[in-house]
Amino acid sequence: MRPEILFPLFKPVTALKGVGPRLGQLIERLAGKYLVDLCWHLPTGLIDRRFRPTVAAAPDGAVATLTVTVDEHIPSANRRLPYKVLCSDDTGTVSLVFFNAKADYLEKMLPLGATRVVSGQIGHYGAEIQMPHPDHIVAPDKADELPTVEATYPLTTGLTSKPLHRAVRGALDQTPELAEWQNVPWLEKQAWPSWRAALFAAHEPESQAALEPDDPARRRLAYDELLANQLALAMIRNAARRRAGRAIVGDGRLRAALSKALPYELTEGQRDVLHEIQADMAQPQRMLRLLQGDVGSGKTVVALTAMLAAVESGAQAAFMVPTEILARQHLETLTNLCRDLPLRIQILTGRTKGRPRLALLGDLAEGRIDILIGTHALFTEDVIFKDLALTVIDEQHRFGVHQRLNLGDKGIAADILVMTATPIPRTLSLTVYGDMDISLLHGKPPGRQPVDTRSMPLSRLDQVVAGVQRAVNGGARAFWVCPLVEENEQLDLAAAEERHGTLARIFGHDQVGLVHGRMKAKEKDQAMAAFVAGETKILVATTVIEVGVDVPEASIMAVEHAERFGLAQLHQLRGRVGRGGQQAHCLLLYAEPLGETARARIAIMRETEDGFRIAEEDLRLRGTGELLGTRQSGFPAFRLADPLAHQDLMEVARDDARLILETDPDLEGPRGPALRALLYLFERDAAVKLLRSG
């Protein structure tokens, strides 16, 4: 139950005076649906209205506040022409210019002969000095109501600054005084204001410095958000650890047989992470471990070895992946690797229906299946294991914290191993995986050649197509990835379909496949299967092929408009080729002219294949907002904290969260109620529920 003191902040934005359904919809799209979301919508710039020159001395482009007399109204005969109001002081005349203006409103605001204080941006047009659409018009006796410094906020189409300002001010006025949740000695050492004072200060910047992340008010708010995040993760971790785990120690027979069957030796990196994972599994506490491995570093073999340890101990293992394509690929890979082992591996997806499904569920419950591979379908209630000891989850950022725990609950506190091929800078891994221990897998299996990465302008597209044609004639297969068009699926789709049409005319319609996000799962699978089988030679795709698709024969990756992709995404895409040991090529096609950031990104891609270095560079170049290129990536979207600028605070928040839970695990001590309010304030309600459920 949310504390009553926070109720005002969780009213809908339409509860504010003057915010009707239309305006409410715009504000919701921009900031969020509650008043608290408006509080988190911080300004990004400011307008200084303290400059008060005479009319003649007002420079072009400056924001100026003028005191003038209203001389003449010049209405326009044509609606498309502006309405002008001529005003003057002792030094000259300024035209106040209004488009789509209502004459009666302007005559009331600016009566002839009256003195008015007007503030806005000055424009010089030949000899004429203008102020188009003044921001403020007041009588001299109200001049002190003019804001001297005015914050500017990010806007959205259809929403102007005035109604947004009013809404933000209305939300701030509803904020209650809350009990202090921060450690008081730490707060005093930092010389930070209280939460409410910090919020008002952040929305009323007096200078450019007040907009920077190191401003005391902004650091205070950032720390509050980071503490809520770290406390929630630590509580989830504690709840998972509180349930007694079990020690899983197999006799080694299946692992030894796998080791013999493998056509290669495990790399030193693989052996190191296996040692960490198996040591964890042998402990009586529940394992919660993240395996972060670069593209193609050999995580699947590591996961299989861990699952064999569980099977050796007489239990079962589950392997969960985000898509059906991946599930089928893993089934094929694991079946091939375990061909000579006494092992029963099955697959369960949304497509497994009717009698086959009932038979499979019966085998699972009776213990006749050792390893079950599947998609979200593994979550459904009727999926019951006889004895699930280990859950492996691939591409964790596609699943939330609670989903990973849910699957672990299908066994008696089953161990959880999460894997991702998206290297994440340490800063961010604390924010996303603060509830887990982390293993890093470096290096690639022997025999993998570096991918030859080149960049060229789109103006040379004909040469690229000719090069791909030569390679395809020589037996190669190619991915052709189409651009991401500013979060507009329609345009993404149009771009992919257009490119598919062009290539199909050149290569033949039966040789070019198409995969995009709008297709039904079945159609997607069919297009992928045709490419995997070699029935089609080129696969045109949007970024749906980014994660985990394994086509060993594919040796060319062409990425159109590479400048629109994030570094981590480009790295993921490049990792789709060269998996069969042959020389692979990645072509990054860009539109000219290239911006500075895009140029730097492409240079890094050509320079290195080290995903961890690429992730750090990506964070440096882009900041944290869109690190994975998709908003749906499971990363907490911070509103106030910048994990790059506030890295030091992240570390402190993590230590503070651990200390809080060591001394007061149920949040019932002196700081407890305030900390619960903090969790609710940042909508980490799920963590509070864990306290109740124990």
Residues for the chain: how many in total? 694
Residue type, 452: D
Query: Which value, in Å, is the radius of gyration of the alpha carbons in the chain?
Result: 30
Tell me, yes or no, whether 116 lies in a domain: yes
Q: What is the pLDDT of residue 484?
A: 56
Of 608, 625, 651, which residue is a domain's last?
Answer: 608
Residues 477, 561 share a domain:
yes
The owner of tokens 């969960």 is: 320
Cis peptide before 593 (omega within 30 of 0): yes
Kind of pairing between the strands at 585-590 and 554-559: parallel
Q: What is the pLDDT of residue 582?
A: 80
User: Residue 635's pLDDT band (boundaries 50, 70, 90)?
Assistant: very low
Token pair of 613 as six digits: 């270095």
User: Residue 5's pLDDT band (boundaries 50, 70, 90)?
Assistant: very high
Residues 531, 419 share a domain:
no
Tell me, yes or no, whether 223 lies in a domain: no
Residues 176, 70 share a domain:
no
Q: What is the pLDDT of residue 628?
A: 34
Residues 185, 56 share a domain:
no
Q: How many domains does the chain have?
A: 4
Q: What is the pLDDT of residue 631?
A: 34
CA distance 21 to 8: 19
Residue 630 clears pLDDT 50, i.e. is over it: no
Residues 195, 166 share a domain:
yes
Residues 598, 470 share a domain:
yes
Tell me, yes or no, whether 627 lies in a domain: no
Sign of torsion over alpha carbons 27, 32, 37, 42: negative
User: Residue 487's pLDDT band (boundaries 50, 70, 90)?
Assistant: very low
Residues 167, 124 share a domain:
no
User: Residue 460's pLDDT band (boundaries 50, 70, 90)?
Assistant: very high
User: Residue 39's pLDDT band (boundaries 50, 70, 90)?
Assistant: very high
Tell me what the pLDDT averaged over the chain comes to. 86
Q: What is the pLDDT of residue 262?
A: 87
Tell me, yes or no, whether 414 lies in a domain: yes
Q: What is the pLDDT of residue 691?
A: 65
Residue 650 clears pLDDT 50, i.e. is over it: yes
Phi, psi of 47, rounded to the nearest 5 degrees: -115, 125
In this structure, are residues 587 and 454 in contact, taking their beta carbons and an 8 Å threshold? Answer: yes
Residues 562, 490 share a domain:
yes
H-type alpha helices, 537-640: 567-574, 596-607, 611-622
Residues 131, 259 share a domain:
no
Tell me, yes or no, whether 641 lies in a domain: no
Q: What is the pLDDT of residue 578?
A: 80
303-326: average pLDDT: 92
For residue range 206-242, list pLDDT tens digits in order: 999 999 999 999 999 999 999 998 898 888 777 766 7
Tell me, yes or no, whether 92 lies in a domain: yes
Q: What is the pLDDT of residue 427?
A: 63
Residues 167, 128 share a domain:
no
Of 381, 413, 441, which residue is a domain's last?
Answer: 441
667-684: average pLDDT: 92
Tell me, yes or no, whether 371 lies in a domain: yes
Q: Which residue segment(s) compose the domain that 110 sits in?
A: 50-146
SS (H, E, C) 115-180: EEEEEEECEEECCEEEEECCCEEECHHHHHHCCCEEEECCCCCCCCHHHHHHHHHHHHHCCCCCCC
Residues 409, 302 share a domain:
yes
For residue range 382-418, list pLDDT tens digits in order: 889 999 999 998 865 445 555 555 555 565 678 889 8
The number of beta carbons lying within 10 Å of the beta carbon of residue 267 is: 19
Find the CATH number of the domain harbouring 311.
3.40.50.300
Question: What residues contact residue 251 under an 8 Å CB cut-off, 6+ apart?
Answer: 312
Q: Which helix (H) or strand (E) holds 268?
A: helix 268-281
By three-state DSSP, how is residue 392 classified?
strand
Q: How far is CA 659 from CA 652, 655, 656, 663, in A?
A: 10, 6, 5, 6
In this structure, are residues 614 and 423 in contact, taking their beta carbons and an 8 Å threshold? Answer: yes
Tell me, yes or no, whether 636 lies in a domain: no
Residues 178, 32 share a domain:
yes
Of 583, 608, 633, which residue is a domain's last?
Answer: 608
Task: With CA atoms as reference, report the closest residue to 324 among 301, 349, 344.
Answer: 349
For residue range 599-620, list pLDDT tens digits in order: 888 999 999 888 778 877 877 7
C-alpha 27, offset from chain centre: 21
Q: What is the pLDDT of residue 153?
A: 94
